[in-house]
């Protein structure tokens, strides 16, 4: 299938069908955050697709000239939203990264992060739990205070120091451990079973958001099941090019959720949601799992999507706040979920929703991009912070990576804005009605 | 050849000294992304790409390149459709995208000054809150640069009423191909002496590099009405256009698409849902004072009905209007949905010859077996036939090029021209000879000689060199005649090798 001299020597390579769709019109240039930043066509969608094509055709080797642009891509998919020709830039980038991963696993910082987190921690539930525990211990035992006092963190690069500074307080228990296996529907109707995907980062740092998601779904007529043997979704592995590991994890998730009897699989993290919806692409050459993956993906819904699609009860409790909404890339560009979160927020009494400029431009978080490409990520974060409208007291969004990134931004500027998940605000509105407003 | 040149140590040292390593691309593998612009049928590697940030930097690099006889060319967003920003002589590409600032706006006097890399639509975005906009609106306006617009004298959907780029640029700072910096035009009033600005606008980067551009801005019209009209036949749609203009209405825009173009956009994110059995759709827009505009819209609807319109509808909301416009503006790119490759042609004809030329295009499509989608600025008689082909099929690229050339000739024969707005570039350089004789071309070449004496700045674009052109034609004929023999030879060599 590949050209005879293709630089892509391993299975699962970028397909000619995908890159040849690009007609070089250039409409994607202006929405690409890395092109906006650098003005270099090598770092534009059109350029990246062209380089991938050249490598596939054996004109270019798989050297820095291809690898660098492919890894500097945020995988934010803004280009896919505008592309009139329908080029799947994200898939091409991920497949090309797969080739690089085979050819030369990353070294240095990036390699360390990849090996440690992507192979040793996230795919292993027990280690993930242990990590959460360690973090909790670090924060609660006073160790964090000492480390900061003694300036032990000085050895870390600046962006990691900043990360450490904002690390949200790790909740006592992850939702996957704390939630019962099934939560009965509390609303009047029975809409069926919703399997809750708890995720890794979300559940370590934002277990509350998972709890809120479960409550809100139940409140709106869903029986919520929480399969205990699910794994992290594998999105970070796909983004890094580690497609084999991602497939291992995906297989388990597919089996577990299909067996759980869930009519819908709900998720509150945009990156994970996109990955779950794109499982079929991972198994395009696997006769058994391709079909299972399709069944699985057809059921996946972002929580905001689920609520708007199946109907939700407008909350009665008031949340008098002024909130901006940031469109997480994997929600708006990869999943085309834009209006639903705004509909939910708009339904909350007392909440004033303010649109911000370029709300769908990437904040620079992009999985672990902010760790591997701190300069670009930092520049994009600055732009995002500049775009926050005056007079807001919070920013809502639907992705844990963006939440942490914006927390860094707020911390850096000493800005008095709370970073929130959309569902947290909705949940709060429901809770307030139970107690009676306030 | 190019790579050994790229190693030209002195040149690279100079460029890196001037710009710093982060603003120079020079390793051979870093250059592939600059091999072509929006016209992909021909490619060529540049020697290096540099990203200047000031007029002075542009002047310094140009002066050096001129002294050392190194060819170079300016590049904006690279959306050109005729290969103007494609390096064919191992040029140093001077990318202007980092010079993208809005330098000044004078609302009272309706002027704005931008750097050349300023993206067209961004200017309107930045001044729209105050109620102003920049009128020229090529379909590529969300990405193309005002410098590129100046060089191509870009048109757009609204140029029927508002005119093309040249009507909106009043002055420019230009780095000449020798490195000298000149100011041409006048911010207000008419410039004295020769109309150098008129010469430079539309010169496709062959007379110098614009580094500061003063444009007119306009107050936004009070109101806009947009209608979408679907017709069973192209002839009915064409007659409607003639009749609307005949009725004394000057629409802000009249755009047409044929069935194949509709199919392409309807497959994209910009789906409108056109019926499968209509031949043409018209997008008609009127703007101006709110008072009376409703009547004009009603008159347009009435004229559509006189010409057997299937359905006609005035946009009910801004969203609807925006969708109709995106659908039209994205039509070129969306052609990727129905064909792996395409060439957009850009011929102009007198409006009244539309049906006749369309029939010829249809005939060419049937003869060649290549599908041709059509998108027009119907009000100006500016045609954009999109010739669909597959470059992986041997011979198809050449066939598509030939069909394109025949279409242009048909336009010239009908009393029109070979380019409405996309420029000549390398794409239509041969057809220039169909339009002009040697004396005409020599006069143009003489002008170029004055500005660009060593012909280092975007050489080989726009004007065919009379002698070389004949040679090339002769070669082409020879190659065509002997193509069969070459192919046989190639086959034999292949068999021998294996
Ligand atoms: C999908 C699509 C739709 C299009 N629709 C239209 C349309 O409706 N109307 C229309 O007119 N065109 C249209 N075009 C063509 C193209 O967008 C225009 O020609 C545009 O003006 C090119 O601008 P650019 O910045 O991309 O220039 P480039 O492609 O980078 O360069 C174009 C030419 O200008 C020269 N140049 C660039 N910058 C400068 C400068 N500062 N000084 C001197 N010379 C310079 C280059 O050397 C080259 O010859 C379309 C293109 C695409 C891909
Ligand atoms: S918008 Fe799509 S088709 Fe056009 S250049 Fe970008 S990726 Fe290619
Ligand atoms: S995914 Fe984002 S960063 Fe990557 S090419 Fe597309 S727009 Fe640019």
Q: What is the ipTM for the molecules in this complex?
A: 0.90
Q: Whose CA is nearest to atom 1 of ligand 2?
A: A83
Q: What is the largest CA-CA distance in chain B?
A: 79
Q: Which of A52-66, B174-188, B386-400, B461-475 has the lowest mean pLDDT?
A: B461-475
- Asked if B93 and B34 count as a contact pair (C-beta separation under 8 A), the reply is yes
Measured in Å, residue B151 CA sits from the centre of ligand 1 at 7
- Asked if B280 and B256 count as a contact pair (C-beta separation under 8 A), the reply is yes
How far is A344 from A327, CA to CA, in rounded Å?
14
pLDDT digits (tens, 9 = 90+) for B242-258: 999 999 999 999 999 99
Residues A319 and A203 placed together within one structural domain of the fold: no
Q: Does B16 touch chain A (CB under 8 A)?
A: no
**What is residue B5's predicted lDDT score, i.e. its pLDDT?**
47
pLDDT digits (tens, 9 = 90+) for B350-370: 988 988 999 999 999 999 999
Q: Is residue A142 situated within a structural domain?
A: yes
Q: What is the CA radius of gyration of chain B?
A: 23
Nearest CA-CA partner of B97 in B114, B112, B77:
B77
Q: Is residue A3 situated within a structural domain?
A: no
B332·A63 Cβ contact <8 A: no
DSSP label of A313: P
**What is residue A368's predicted lDDT score, i.e. its pLDDT?**
79
pLDDT digits (tens, 9 = 90+) for B368-411: 999 999 999 999 999 999 999 998 899 999 999 999 999 999 99
A194 beta partners: A224, A264
How far is A360 from A379, CA to CA, in rounded Å?
16
Q: Does A379 touch chain B (CB under 8 A)?
A: no
Domain finish residue from A103, A128, A148? A103
Q: Is the pLDDT of residue B2 over 70?
A: no
Interface test with B, best of A3, A41, A66 (most B CBs within 10 A): A41
CB within 8 Å of B99: residues ≥ 6 apart? B52, B53, B54, B58, B115, B116, B117, B147, B211
Residues A192 and A127 placed together within one structural domain of the fold: no
Sign of the C-alpha dihedral, residues B390, B392, B393, B398?
positive
Which ligand ends up closest to the CA of A50?
A: 2
Number of residue pairs across A and B with CB atoms under 8 Å? 106
pLDDT digits (tens, 9 = 90+) for B68-117: 999 999 999 999 999 999 999 999 999 999 999 999 999 999 999 999 99
Nearest CA-CA partner of B84 in B209, B213, B180:
B209
A84·B330 Cβ contact <8 A: yes
> What percentage of chain B exceeds 90 in pLDDT?
88
Instruction: Give the H or E element holding residue B404.
Output: helix B396-413
B332·A50 Cβ contact <8 A: no
How far is A98 from A76, CA to CA, in rounded Å?
17
Residues A63 and A180 placed together within one structural domain of the fold: no
Domain finish residue from A278, A308, A338? A308
Ligand 1 atom nearest residue A25's Cα: 53
Secondary-structure percent of chain A, ordered helix, strand, coil, rounded to 5: 55, 10, 35
- Asked if A369 and A159 count as a contact pair (C-beta separation under 8 A), the reply is no
Residues A147 and A193 placed together within one structural domain of the fold: no
Measured in Å, residue B290 CA sits from the centre of ligand 2 at 38
pLDDT band at B497 (very low <50, low <70, confident <90, very high): very low
Q: List Cα–Cα distances, B73 to A18, B17, B48, B209, B452, in angstroms.
A: 32, 20, 11, 8, 12
A26·B97 Cβ contact <8 A: no
Q: What kind of fold does domain B5-95 have according to CATH? A: 3.30.43
**What is residue A113's predicted lDDT score, i.e. its pLDDT?**
67
- Asked if B30 and B187 count as a contact pair (C-beta separation under 8 A), the reply is no
Q: What is the CA radius of gyration of chain A?
A: 21
B180 CA: distance to closest CA in chain A (Å): 26
The count of other CB atoms within 10 Å of the CB of residue A188 is 8
DSSP label of A115: I
SS3 for B41?
coil
Nearest CA-CA partner of B287 in B401, B373, B161:
B161
Sign of the C-alpha dihedral, residues B199, B200, B202, B206?
positive
Residues A281 and A331 placed together within one structural domain of the fold: no
Residue range B221-338, CATH number: 3.30.70.2190
Residues A319 and A350 placed together within one structural domain of the fold: yes
Beta pairing, strands B132-133 & B218-219: antiparallel
Q: Does B18 touch chain A (CB under 8 A)?
A: no
pLDDT digits (tens, 9 = 90+) for B10-62: 999 999 999 999 999 999 889 999 999 999 989 999 999 999 999 999 999 99
Which has more pLDDT, A177 or B214? Answer: B214
Beta pairing, strands B382-389 & B372-377: antiparallel
∠ CA A405-A33-A44, rounded to 5°: 140
Q: Is residue A5 situated within a structural domain?
A: no
Residues A247 and A129 placed together within one structural domain of the fold: no
pLDDT digits (tens, 9 = 90+) for B218-277: 999 999 999 999 999 999 999 999 999 999 999 999 999 999 999 999 999 999 999 999
Question: Which range marks the domain in which residue A97 is found?
Answer: 16-103
Instruction: Give the H or E element holding residue A91.
Output: helix A89-103
Is ligand 3 within 6 A of the CB of residue A34? yes
Cβ neighbours of A83 in B, within 8 Å: 269, 333
Q: Which of residues 403-462 of B touch A (CB under 8 A)?
A: none
Q: What is the CATH number of the domain that holds A23?
A: 1.10.1060.10
The count of other CB atoms within 10 Å of the CB of residue A182 is 12
B33·A41 Cβ contact <8 A: yes
The count of other CB atoms within 10 Å of the CB of residue B306 is 11
How far is B155 from B160, CA to CA, in rounded Å?
9
Q: Is residue A2 situated within a structural domain?
A: no
**What is residue B494's predicted lDDT score, i.e. its pLDDT?**
46
pLDDT in 10s for each residue of chain A, 438 residues: 456 689 998 888 999 999 999 999 999 999 999 999 999 999 999 999 999 999 999 999 999 999 999 999 999 999 999 999 999 999 999 999 999 888 876 666 666 666 677 776 777 777 777 777 777 777 777 777 777 776 766 667 777 777 777 777 778 888 888 899 999 998 678 899 999 999 887 888 899 999 999 999 999 999 999 999 999 899 888 888 889 999 999 999 999 999 999 999 999 999 999 999 999 999 999 989 999 999 999 999 999 999 999 999 999 999 999 999 999 999 999 999 999 999 999 999 999 999 999 999 999 998 778 888 889 999 999 999 999 999 999 999 999 999 999 999 999 999 999 999 999 999 999 999 866 544
Chain mean pLDDT for chain B: 92
Q: Is the pLDDT of residue B486 over 70?
A: no
**What is residue A142's predicted lDDT score, i.e. its pLDDT?**
73
Q: What is the CATH number of the domain that holds A283?
A: 3.40.50
CB within 8 Å of B246: residues ≥ 6 apart? none
Residues A322 and A422 placed together within one structural domain of the fold: yes
Measured in Å, residue A280 CA sits from the centre of ligand 2 at 24
How far is A362 from A271, CA to CA, in rounded Å?
12
**What is residue A200's predicted lDDT score, i.e. its pLDDT?**
80
Residues A182 and A294 placed together within one structural domain of the fold: yes
How far is B258 from B264, CA to CA, in rounded Å?
10
**What is residue A2's predicted lDDT score, i.e. its pLDDT?**
54
Measured in Å, residue A40 CA sits from the centre of ligand 3 at 13
Per the document, the length of chain B is: 498
Q: Structural domain tally of chain A?
A: 4
Name the residue of A36, A79, A376, A380 whose CB sits within 8 Å of the most ligand 3 atoms, as the mutation to test its pocket.
A79
Q: Is residue A234 situated within a structural domain?
A: yes
**What is residue B7's predicted lDDT score, i.e. its pLDDT?**
45
What are residue B105's phi and psi, to 5 degrees? -130, 135
Name the residue of B333, B335, B342, B344 whose CB sits within 8 Å of the most ligand 2 atoms, as the mutation to test its pocket.
B333
A224 CA: distance to closest CA in chain B (Å): 34
Q: List Cα–Cα distances, A182 to A216, B217, B421, in angstroms.
A: 14, 63, 65
How far is B8 from B395, CA to CA, in rounded Å?
36
Q: Is residue A7 situated within a structural domain?
A: no
**What is residue B306's predicted lDDT score, i.e. its pLDDT?**
97
**What is residue A10's predicted lDDT score, i.e. its pLDDT?**
86
DSSP label of B105: E
**What is residue B489's predicted lDDT score, i.e. its pLDDT?**
43
Is ligand 2 within 6 A of the CB of residue A142? no
Which has more pLDDT, B99 or B192? Answer: B99
For chain B, give every domain's residue range.
5-95, 221-338
Q: Is residue A10 situated within a structural domain?
A: no
Residues A352 and A426 placed together within one structural domain of the fold: yes
Q: Is residue A302 situated within a structural domain?
A: yes
Q: What is the pTM of this model?
A: 0.91
Q: Does B167 touch chain A (CB under 8 A)?
A: no
**What is residue B63's predicted lDDT score, i.e. its pLDDT?**
98
């Amino acid at each position: 299938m590949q050209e005879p001299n293709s630089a892509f020597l391993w299975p699962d390579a970028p397909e000619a069908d995908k890159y040849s769709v690009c007609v070089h019109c250039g409409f994607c240039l202006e929405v690409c955050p890395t092109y906006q930043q650098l003005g270099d066509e090598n770092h534009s969608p059109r350029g990246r697709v062209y380089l991938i094509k050249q490598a596939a055709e054996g004109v270019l080797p798989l050297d820095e000239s291809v690898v660098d642009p492919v890894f500097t891509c945020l995988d934010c998919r803004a280009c896919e939203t505008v592309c009139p020709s329908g080029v799947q830039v994200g898939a091409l980038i991920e497949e090309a990264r797969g080739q690089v991963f085979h050819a030369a696993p990353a070294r240095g910082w990036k390699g360390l992060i990849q090996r440690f987190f992507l192979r040793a921690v996230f795919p292993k539930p027990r280690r993930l739990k242990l990590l959460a525990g360690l973090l909790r211990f670090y924060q609660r035992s006073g160790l964090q205070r000492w480390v900061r006092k003694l300036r032990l963190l000085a050895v870390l690069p600046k962006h990691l120091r900043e990360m450490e500074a904002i690390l949200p307080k790790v909740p006592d228990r992850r939702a996957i451990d704390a939630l019962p296996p099934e939560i009965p529907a509390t609303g009047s109707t029975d809409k069926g079973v919703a399997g809750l995907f708890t995720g890794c980062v979300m559940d370590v740092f934002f277990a509350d958001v998972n709890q809120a998601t479960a409550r809100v779904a139940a409140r709106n007529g869903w029986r919520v099941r929480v399969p205990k043997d699910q794994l992290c979704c594998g999105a970070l592995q796909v983004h890094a090019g580690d497609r084999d590991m991602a497939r291992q994890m995906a297989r388990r998730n597919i089996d577990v959720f299909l067996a759980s009897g869930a009519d819908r699989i709900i998720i509150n993290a945009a990156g994970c949601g996109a990955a779950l919806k794109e499982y079929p692409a991972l198994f395009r050459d696997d006769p058994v799992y391709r079909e299972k993956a399709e069944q699985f993906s057809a059921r996946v819904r972002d929580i905001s999507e689920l609520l708007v699609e199946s109907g939700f009860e407008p909350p009665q409790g008031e949340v008098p706040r002024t909130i901006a909404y940031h469109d997480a890339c994997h929600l708006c560009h990869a999943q085309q979920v834009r209006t639903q979160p705004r509909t939910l927020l708009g339904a909350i009494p007392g909440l004033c929703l303010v649109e911000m400029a370029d709300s769908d431009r990437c904040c620079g978080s992009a999985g672990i991009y902010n760790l591997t490409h701190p300069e670009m990520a930092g520049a994009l974060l600055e732009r995002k912070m500049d775009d926050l409208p005056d007079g807001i007291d919070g920013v809502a969004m639907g992705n844990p990576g963006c939440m942490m990134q914006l927390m860094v931004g707020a911390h850096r500027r000493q800005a008095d804005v709370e970073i929130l998940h959309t569902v947290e605000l909705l949940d709060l509105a429901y809770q307030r009605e139970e107690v009676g407003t306030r | 050849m190019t790579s050994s040149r790229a190693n030209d140590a002195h040149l690279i040292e100079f460029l890196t000294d001037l710009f710093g390593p982060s603003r120079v691309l020079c390793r051979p593998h870093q250059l592939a992304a600059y091999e072509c612009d929006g016209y992909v049928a021909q490619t060529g590697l540049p020697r290096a790409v540099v990203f200047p940030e000031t007029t002075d930097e542009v002047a310094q690099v140009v002066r050096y390149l001129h002294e050392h006889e190194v060819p170079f060319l300016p590049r904006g967003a690279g959306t050109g459709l005729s290969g103007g920003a494609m390096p064919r002589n191992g040029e140093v590409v001077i990318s202007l995208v980092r010079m993208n600032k809005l330098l000044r706006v004078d609302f009272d006097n309706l002027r704005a000054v931008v750097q050349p890399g300023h993206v067209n639509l961004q200017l309107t975005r930045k001044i729209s809150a105050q109620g102003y906009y920049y009128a020229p609106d090529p379909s590529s306006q969300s990405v193309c640069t005002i410098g590129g617009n100046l060089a191509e004298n870009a048109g757009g959907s609204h140029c029927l009423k508002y005119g093309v780029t040249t009507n909106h640029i009043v002055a420019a700072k230009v780095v000449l191909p020798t490195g000298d910096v000149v100011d041409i035009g006048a911010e207000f009033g008419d410039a004295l002496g020769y109309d150098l600005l008129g010469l430079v606008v539309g010169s496709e980067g062959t007379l110098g590099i614009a580094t500061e551009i003063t444009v007119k801005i306009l107050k936004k019209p009070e109101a806009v009405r947009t209608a979408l009209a679907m017709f069973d036949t192209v002839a009915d749609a064409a007659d409607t256009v003639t009749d609307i203009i005949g009725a004394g209405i000057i629409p802000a825009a009249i755009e047409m698409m044929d069935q194949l173009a509709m199919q392409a956009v309807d497959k994209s994110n910009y789906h409108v849902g056109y019926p499968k059995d209509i031949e043409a759709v018209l997008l008609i827009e009127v703007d101006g004072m709110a008072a009376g505009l409703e009547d004009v819209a009603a008159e347009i609807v009435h004229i559509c009905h006189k010409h057997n319109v299937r359905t006609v509808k005035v946009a009910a909301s801004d969203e609807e209007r925006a969708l109709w416009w995106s659908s039209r503006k994205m039509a070129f790119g969306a052609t990727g949905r129905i064909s792996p490759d395409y060439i957009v042609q850009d011929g102009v004809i007198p409006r009244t010859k539309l049906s006749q030329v369309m029939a010829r295009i249809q005939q060419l499509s049937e003869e060649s077996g290549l599908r041709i989608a059509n998108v027009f600025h119907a009000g100006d008689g500016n045609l954009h036939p999109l010739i669909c082909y597959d470059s992986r099929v041997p011979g198809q690229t050449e066939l598509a090029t030939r069909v394109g050339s025949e279409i242009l000739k048909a336009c010239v024969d009908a009393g029109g021209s070979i380019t409405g707005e996309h420029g000549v570039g390398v794409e239509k350089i041969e057809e220039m000879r169909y339009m002009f004789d040697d004396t005409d071309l020599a006069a143009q070449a003489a002008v170029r000689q004055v500005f660009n004496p060593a012909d280092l700045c975007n050489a080989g674009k726009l004007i065919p060199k009379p002698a070389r052109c004949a040679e090339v034609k002769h070669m082409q004929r020879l190659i065509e005649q002997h193509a069969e023999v070459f192919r046989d030879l190639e086959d034999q060599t292949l068999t021998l090798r294996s």
